[in-house]
């Protein structure tokens, strides 16, 4: 059986799940979804899998790190930083 047989409400919930999980829906719409979820196990199961997906993304910390910063590259950044600090102390530099 295909998903077409699911009710319109299931489809609507499906399309709003991220906004629901993000708490971005108006109170009324949010309550409607909760009412539907309470009586629809497939939707609640799906919602839970999406919630865990988001949780995984939030906790994801990459294994790949940049190579250690080279001396020259650090110096380049430090120079830019110090120029910025100097400009702030000297108001005539600010409006360059």
Give the integer Cα–Cα distance in Å for 89 and 66: 33
If one asks whether residue 42 binds other proteins (CB under 8 A), the answer comes out as: yes
If one asks whether residue 36 binds other proteins (CB under 8 A), the answer comes out as: no
Closest CA to 47 of 37, 57, 58, 59: 37
User: Which of 12, 24, 34, 35 is in the footprint of other proteins by CB under 8 A?
Assistant: 24
Choose among other proteins, Zn ion, none what residue 34 binds, the Cβ cut-off being 5 to 8 Å by kind.
none
Q: State the minimum distance, in angstroms, from the CB of residue 1 to other proteins.
A: 5
């Amino acid at each position: 059986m295909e998903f077409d047989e699911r009710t319109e409400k299931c489809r609507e919930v499906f399309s709003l799940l991220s906004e629901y999980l993000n708490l971005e829906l108006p109170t009324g719409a949010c309550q409607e979804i909760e009412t539907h979820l309470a009586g629809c196990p497939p939707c609640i199961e799906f919602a839970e899998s999406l919630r865990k997906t988001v949780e995984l993304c939030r906790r994801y910390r990459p294994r790949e790190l940049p190579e250690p910063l080279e001396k020259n590259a650090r110096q380049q950044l430090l120079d830019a930083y110090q120029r910025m600090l100097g400009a702030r102390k000297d108001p005539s530099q600010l409006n360059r």
